[in-house]
Structure formats: structure tokens, C-alpha cells
Amino acid sequence: MTDRLVRMLEPILRDVATCAELALRVQDGYRPSAPPGVPVDDDWLMVWTPDSAGTGIALRGGEDELEQLADVFDQVHEVAVEGRGNAGLSTSWPPCPAHPERRPLSVALRGTQTLWACPVDGQVHCEVGQLAC
């Protein structure tokens, strides 16, 4: 069941691997307990940061596949930001070219695209999975 989730995560994991200076590890089949509010048999997996903090990434948010995708991207984004903070790196990731020290880019769903966009002015930076650094 989590094969689909693993595939869904590929673009954002690529961005993290390319640009976040953080080695996240995805672990499927780890089932000590589900994340809060998620039934144990639901679709979820663990993402580990280098400092051994594990976070459950769950497929949730209704039946709209694009909303689900944006939601799991959000969840991984949060893990990456926390992992960077724990590693002593800037938590303003991915940095917005216009506001590098202020607010990081965030995942935005526009039409059928999941994008990295500026939360301050709405400026689209690139598609999730296409981050350059």
C-alpha cells in the first residue's frame, strides 16, 4: 500500500537531497505506532533525519489526489526544516530569493501543479522536484 506514497514523495525527496544538505532516510514497514489521528493500517511511512528523529508521513486529506500530494509534500517539508534546525542549518528552507532570511518557500497547489511558492508575495519559484540551488 505504501508503494504509492513512496512514489509520491520522490519529487520532494529529490529537492531535499539536492538542496537541503540533509540526508533524510525513508523507512517503509515500520509500525510501532501510527502518527496521532491516523489509523494504524493507513498509508504512512517513517522519515528519519540524520539526528535520528523519526516522523510519520501519512497519506491523508481526503480523496483529492493533488491535495494529498501537496499535503505529504508539506509534511516532508516540515521534517526537512526541523532536521536542518537540529543540524544547525538555517530553517528558512528552501530560501526565497526575494526574502532569503524571512520566510522560506512553501508548497502551493495551483491547478494541477505542486509548486514552491513564496508565502509572502505568492511568487512561484519552481515545481516541487525541480528545485535548483
Complex with Zn ion: residue 35 or 95, whichever CB lies closer:
95
Residue 98 makes contact with Zn ion by CB under 5 A:
yes
How many other C-beta atoms are found inside a 10 Å radius of the C-beta of residue 84?
20
Residue 53 makes contact with Zn ion by CB under 5 A:
no
- H-state helical runs in 1-133: 2-19, 65-86
Convert 97-128 to b/e letters by CB count within 10 Å (16 or more is b).
eebeeeebbbbbbeeeebbbbbeeeeeebeeb
Residue 120 makes contact with Zn ion by CB under 5 A:
yes
Complex with Zn ion: residue 35 or 119, whichever CB lies closer:
119
Residue 22 makes contact with Zn ion by CB under 5 A:
no
How many other C-beta atoms are found inside a 10 Å radius of the C-beta of residue 22?
20
Residue 60 makes contact with Zn ion by CB under 5 A:
no
Residue 108 makes contact with Zn ion by CB under 5 A:
no
| Smallest gap from residue 122 Cβ to Zn ion (A) | 9
